[in-house]
Structure 1
Amino acid sequence: MEYVTQIIDPPPSRNRLLLDGLLALRKPTFDGAPALPKERLVRAAVELSAPTISAYGRACGFRREQGVPLSYPHVLAFPLHLMLLTRPSFPYPASGMVHLANRIRQHRRLEEDQALRLEVYAERWVAHPKGQALSIATRAYSAGELTWESDSLYLRRDVVDPVGEPWGDNLSLPDQGLVRTQRWALPADLGRRFAKVSGDYNPIHTSLIGARLFGFRRAIAHGMWTLGRALAAQQPPGGLDVAEAHCDFKLPIFLPGQVALWNAPAAGPRRAFEVRNLAGDKPHMRGLFIWHSRFDESRP
């Protein structure tokens, strides 16, 4: 597919994104299969600034000695995701799109004050049993080389006859052997606090009234906060050179609330994990974290 590159400079303000989201609540109906947006949205030089990394780290529980969090570039790219979903060329309203899964791959070490070129585009449609899913690609380049990338899967429920390859990428983990390793208490204002560092002010995360308008009894935690918190609990000190994180989002986490991190026995620099309710019988997120660091003696 040929994309039309659009340089986004300066990035959109919070108010602009919220207004675009409201304007995109209603979209005209279309005939036939939906068309992928053709825009490739680009920010040419986004700084990995120490203050914003630190704020993100505090929100998710990362420590400074862990280096740049693996999940951090996603928050830099999220405004471009939202811009793409609220464009007239996108066939569905952005509100109600459900974040199903994320796949992150880091190819080279990220450093504070480094500049990244971010590119975001709609990659492919996916036919999901619950509706129409869309994969949005994020690519981050440094000095012309691919440094970090992610693929985010979003779902529009109740779409009849979805197009694309059938969804078959559920993350499979062992049914036995996971043990509870941490317990987290999540405050009622967690959604508002994470919105300040992530730019995701979706009302289902920040407002009781907003959450109820979309069918939730209370505000729910951001899925990317849950992933960040899980990675913070497992990312080794010293920073990461090459790493991957795969996660599937399951049941929402209502705020305030309590959840627990469950891990499979460690297998070198590889961690299978789930975030579950306190009883341990309902999964909120399932994930796999693999890394190589400068201090990982198992790296060839």
Structure 2
Amino acid sequence: MTDAEIELSRIPAAGPLYRRAAIGLAPGFGPARRGDRLPDQELVVRGVTVDRDHLTGYDQVCGFRLADALPPTYPHVLAFPLALRLMSAPEFPLPLVGLVHVANRITVHRRIDAAEPLDLSVRAVDLRPHDRGRQFDVLCTASVGTEVVWRGVSTYLRRERGGTESARPEHGAAADGRREAGEQRTPPVPSALWRVPSRVGRDYARVSGDRNPIHTSRIAARLFGFPGPIAHGMWSKARCLAALEGRLPDAYEVEVAFKLPLPLPGTVAFHAAPAWTFALHDPGRGRPYLVGGVASI
């Protein structure tokens, strides 16, 4: 174990971490001055086992078939409380409340059986300028013994005044999907139309631990500038992958960009192309909510 590695005995509860982050915003309770560097820490929990009832609930909320193999987005949910603990710590340079999840990339190295205990690790890297503020990546890894079976990279943005135009050029499957689907003047003909009920925000919060109130409360959503609750980005990604289930390769990378908030309730147009790009659009105005793609590895 290195000085930067902190091994925890169990996955922390997400609820107290959200409450700590919210209290930290109140005058006199937050840190007087946050640093400008990401903490040199890697949080690790070993031997995490899957609760089959929880997995069943997750599958049902996201549209996956009930199976012994983990859905590609499920390890993200397992590791999410570790990411919360990291980002809600007083020494973290950006407050958790107000962070925007703008992109996610998952690499599935092989099928993961639900009976396999997983070692999970999480760290934050690459705090960098963005034209609307600052952004960084949270890296998550799931291993079975010494074998890395899954990786996830979540990119978060903190909107701030005085951003810079030095944002990095986009690349990879999500950028390809954006060019093909998200930035066309006329969106592609949908493969399906999905009705997304308002309960999706509450249901996904329950199975994911992501209880950010912008997904469940109209009042909280309005405080952050939304007319009403919005769907979780990772629910949107999971729902797209559930629609592609059975056609995905054994090992692959799937990358998405979260373009616009998906209002709840709402109707979305799902489009999947033969080149393994996919997107969610507003069926009326054609605006993209999510664009992405899959690439074999």
| Structure 1 and Structure 2 fold alike (TM over 0.5) | yes
2:242 to 191, 213, 232: 232
AA partner of residue 100 (structure 2):
V
Distance 1:24 1:172, change over 3 A: farther
Q: Once structures 1 and 2 are overlaid, which stretch shifts more, 220-229 or 11-20?
A: 11-20
Distance 1:185 1:66, change over 3 A: farther
Provide the residue aligned with 2:144 in structure 1: 142
Task: Give 1:275 deviation, angstroms.
Answer: 0.3
Distance 1:228 1:200, change over 3 A: same
- Aligned runs of 1:19-98 on 2, under 5 Å? 19-25=19-25, 26-30=30-34, 34-65=36-67, 67-98=69-100
Task: Give 1:30 deviation, angstroms.
Answer: 4.9
Task: Give 1:189 deviation, angstroms.
Answer: 1.7
Provide the residue aligned with 2:251 in structure 1: 242
1:202 to 204, 212, 216: 212
AA partner of residue 131 (structure 1):
G
What secondary structure is seen at the aligned counterpart in 1 of 2:202?
Answer: helix
What secondary structure is seen at the aligned counterpart in 1 of 2:191?
Answer: strand
Please say if 1:12 is aligned against 2:12: yes
CA contact (8 A) 2:279 2:291 kept: yes
If the length of structure 1 is used for normalisation, what is the TM-score?
0.87
C-alpha offsets along residues 201-239 of structure 1, whole Å, 9 cap, x if unaligned? Answer: 0000011111112121101000000000000001217x8
RMSD: 2.3
Please say if 1:260 is aligned against 2:260: no
CA contact (8 A) 2:132 2:164 kept: no
Please say if 1:290 is aligned against 2:295: yes
Task: Give 1:263 deviation, angstroms.
Answer: 1.9
Distance 1:241 1:263, change over 3 A: closer
Which one has the bigger strand percentage? Answer: 1
Percent sequence identity is: 36
Query: How many residues matched?
Result: 283
Distance 1:5 1:261, change over 3 A: same
AA partner of residue 63 (structure 1):
R
Distance 1:204 1:283, change over 3 A: same
Distance 1:119 1:137, change over 3 A: same
- Paired with 1:83 and 1:162, the residues of 2 have a C-alpha distance of 29
Distance 1:106 1:3, change over 3 A: farther
What secondary structure is seen at the aligned counterpart in 1 of 2:176?
Answer: coil
CA contact (8 A) 2:68 2:114 kept: no
Task: Give 1:243 deviation, angstroms.
Answer: 1.8
Task: Give 1:121 deviation, angstroms.
Answer: 0.3
CA contact (8 A) 1:132 1:159 kept: no
- Paired with 2:63 and 2:163, the residues of 1 have a C-alpha distance of 42
C-alpha offsets along residues 108-156 of structure 1, whole Å, 9 cap, x if unaligned? Answer: 2200111111100012113221110011111111111111001110000
AA partner of residue 200 (structure 1):
D
Provide the residue aligned with 1:166 in structure 2: 167
Task: Give 1:246 deviation, angstroms.
Answer: 0.3
The answer for unaligned runs of 5 or more in structure 1 is 293-300
Which structure 1 residue ranges, 4+ long, deviate > 4 Å from structure 2? none
C-alpha offsets along residues 226-259 of structure 1, whole Å, 9 cap, x if unaligned? Answer: 000000001217x863121100001101111111
